Amino acid sequence: MPTSAKTFDKEVEKLLRKYISKGMTRFLDIGAGSGKYGKMLDVWDRGDFRVEAIEPDVKYRDEYGLHQIYNYVYHQSVHEFIEDYRVYCTNVVIFGDILEHLPKSADRCFRTFHLSV
């Protein structure tokens, strides 16, 4: 079950507002879990921007209604996503609680991918 502390929620919301005010329109939430960051972005009119997510645990789709929170949910691991979407453009990548869950080889590959986003 996904859990997330609320310690930095206000700071994250400020950052998201800052990115939106600068015209950033595409967001990718990696490790969506219960959809916390997608919900934060849901307060704005989505007509101008997209919020997508990567969440490998398919049961979360129904349990947390991820398809109602995000414009699109990729149900695959980060490693599979990188392999399938070598050319993927987004403005903001939201890293929740994910890096420590990856094997070192996938983590290294993901960090390289992150630098190129």
pLDDT digits (tens, 9 = 90+) for 26-53: 999 998 989 999 998 876 666 678 999 9
Domain limits, the chain: 9-116
Lowest mean pLDDT among 4-8, 14-18, 30-34: 4-8
Q: In what order do the strands lie in the sheet with 92-95?
A: 72-74, 50-54, 26-30, 92-95
**Partner residues linked to 74 by β-bridges:** 54
- CATH architecture designation of domain 9-116: 3-Layer(aba) Sandwich (3.40)
Please give the average per-residue pLDDT across 83-102, as a whole number: 79
Residue 53 burial (CB < 10 Å; 0-12/13-18/19+)?
buried
pLDDT in tens, 57-86: 989 988 999 999 999 999 998 889 989 998
| Mean pLDDT, all residues of the chain | 80
Task: Check if the beta carbon of residue 29 is closer than 8 Å to that of residue 97.
Answer: no
Q: Which residues contact 82 (CB under 8 A, 6 or more apart)?
A: 109, 110, 113
Q: Enter the pTM of the model.
A: 0.78
Q: How confident is the model at residue 107 (pLDDT cuts 50, 70, 90)?
A: very low
